[in-house]
Amino acid sequence: MSIFVDRQTKLVVQGITGRDGSFHTKQMLEYETRVVAGVTPGKGGQRFEDTVPIFNTVGEAVAETGANTSVIYVPSRFAVDAMFEAADAGIKLVVCITEGVPVLDMTRVMPFLQERGTRLIGPNCPGVISPGASKVGIIPAQICLEGTIGVVSRSGTLTYEVIHQLTRHGLGQSTCIGIGGDPIVGTNFIDCLEAFEADPGTEAIVMIGEIGGTDEQQAAKYVSHEVRKPVVGFIAGQTAPPGRRMGHAGAIISGSSGTAKEKVAAFEAAGIGVMERPVEVVSLLQERMKGVGC
């Protein structure tokens, strides 16, 4: 089992003929993701790799192919319009890889998506992969292994490191999600925790946070009340110098609420096993899963 994407995912790639879009579309096709359409205005009627039809609009792509998911690889100045277009065409899951999307633009697009029942993952994220089923985004497929561990992270690089450690030790993943580190993102930790808790194919969860904001504290409170599966976590930025802005746009500390120390304390209070280093994920998970008989 998995969350958000699976073998029924029918994907349209917005920006399929651009540098990033074409490169990663080839990777997704090689993974046997069902890429049913691409969109590049002015290039409708062409085909990508002689197989994927290209349309001028997402609306045309959905009408012709029944696409239900979109991934966005367009420059930041066009990304919000691409999100509007996908939701307006009836797409139910939009994954926006694009970084540098202005926060003010996100305040406009989020209500529009919510009104139409469209889930957004991102922006500024590596996307989502359900190993053995579907890859939507840029998470390297070769480091993933089909299994029962759910992974959700604000940090793209640390997502890859943790997945690599899990796979090396034979702990496969049900779904791996990079939610992005911008101040406003479409899908947060709680959304993913709720989905993993409900997924019968997920036995344990890895949550990777970072300094800045209070998302991790809110997620920890949710875990303490709603999640019965084992959860382990890591907070990036524990060695960040006081007052220094580091990492994502969302990694901005306000007072004491966004510090690594405060987040680690919230995790521990919620019963979440906390790693000091990502390499500890395997031993900590095995310990927690053994404790509940997984």
Q: Give catalytic residues, as residue numbers.
A: 248
Nearest to 156 by CA among 208, 83, 191: 208
Q: Which residues contact 226 (CB under 8 A, 6 or more apart)?
A: 193, 194, 197
240, amino acid identity? A
216, amino acid identity? E
66 token code pair: 């029944």
Q: In what order do the strands lie in the sheet with 127-130?
A: 134-137, 127-130, 173-178, 146-153, 204-210, 231-236, 273-274
Q: Rounded to an integer, what distance in angstroms lies between the CA atom of residue 69 and that of residue 135?
A: 11
Nearest to 192 by CA among 158, 164, 233: 233
